[in-house]
Homo-oligomer: A and B are copies of this chain.
Amino acid sequence: MLDAKAKSTDILWHDSQVNRARREDLLNQRGGTIWLTGLPSSGKSTTAYGLESELFTRGFAAYVLDGDNVRHGLNKDLGFSARDRAENIRRIAETAKLFADAGIIVITSFISPYRVERDFARRIHLEAGFNFSEIYIDTPLEVCEQRDPKGLYKKVRRGELQGFTGIDDPYEPPFAPELVCRTAEFSPGEIVSRILGFMTEAGFFLRGDRYSRSFAGK
């Protein structure tokens, strides 16, 4: 019966699921997470989007998870209580892990002030065999407050915002991040360049750039 219905365009059936080797073979990269952490206005977004752009230029598939795409969708049921903030980071960590499993390089751009939450993200990635690199965007509070692109520090100083990380809410710097980036001393381009170098050594990239473009120019 089934054979009689089969058409010439019918596929050859493969029972095997797509494993990590097949994903790596297609995408030329290892899935994994670049977890940025740092104070408000420390330069996480600039770094995240700059890195994503440079990865694409080199033929690697990357994606930024940040407040813009997570808070308005997946986590829009969450507020800013301690419990909701923890759940926010937990879901981001689990979502990043799904992207890593799909073979994508995911860049998370959240303050993520607590070590215990970042350690949870690291643990679930490493247990599943995915790359995980914590990158500390280490910008002095004074510099962050000078930049203040959204005017949040000003609001805090005027008493209009409470529970602000770095002022009246704690930020716990990483004990042993894979990389520390000082945005007060280096340009965004220099920082992205440094992260790309680190990622090369950490084994995110397989068989070089897909388009054979060099880091120096194209």
| A187 to B6 Cα, complex, angstroms | 9
A184-218 near B? 1/0 per residue, CB < 8 Å = 01111110110011000000000000000001111
Q: Which of B10, B65, B94, B187 contacts A2 (CB 8 A)?
A: B187
Q: Does A12 contact B (CB under 8 A)?
A: yes
Beta-carbon contact of A6 and B56 below 8 Å: no
Interface residues of A in 1-49 (CB under 8 A from B): 2, 5-14, 16-18, 22-23, 26-27, 49
A50 to chain B, nearest CB (A): 7
* Number of copies of this kind of chain in the complex: 2
Q: Which residues of B contact A10 (CB under 8 A)?
A: 189-190, 193
Q: Which residues of B contact A99 (CB under 8 A)?
A: 98-99, 102
Beta-carbon contact of A74 and B95 below 8 Å: yes
| A42 to B61 Cα, complex, angstroms | 34
A residues with a Cβ closer than 8 A to B are: 2, 5-14, 16-18, 22-23, 26-27, 49-50, 52-54, 56-57, 59, 61-63, 65, 69-70, 73-74, 77, 87, 91, 94-95, 97-99, 101-104, 124, 185-190, 192-193, 196-197, 215-218
Q: What are 15 pairs between A and B in contact, CB < 8 Å? A: A2-B186, A7-B193, A8-B216, A9-B216, A14-B53, A14-B54, A16-B53, A17-B53, A26-B56, A69-B101, A70-B98, A73-B124, A74-B95, A74-B98, A95-B95
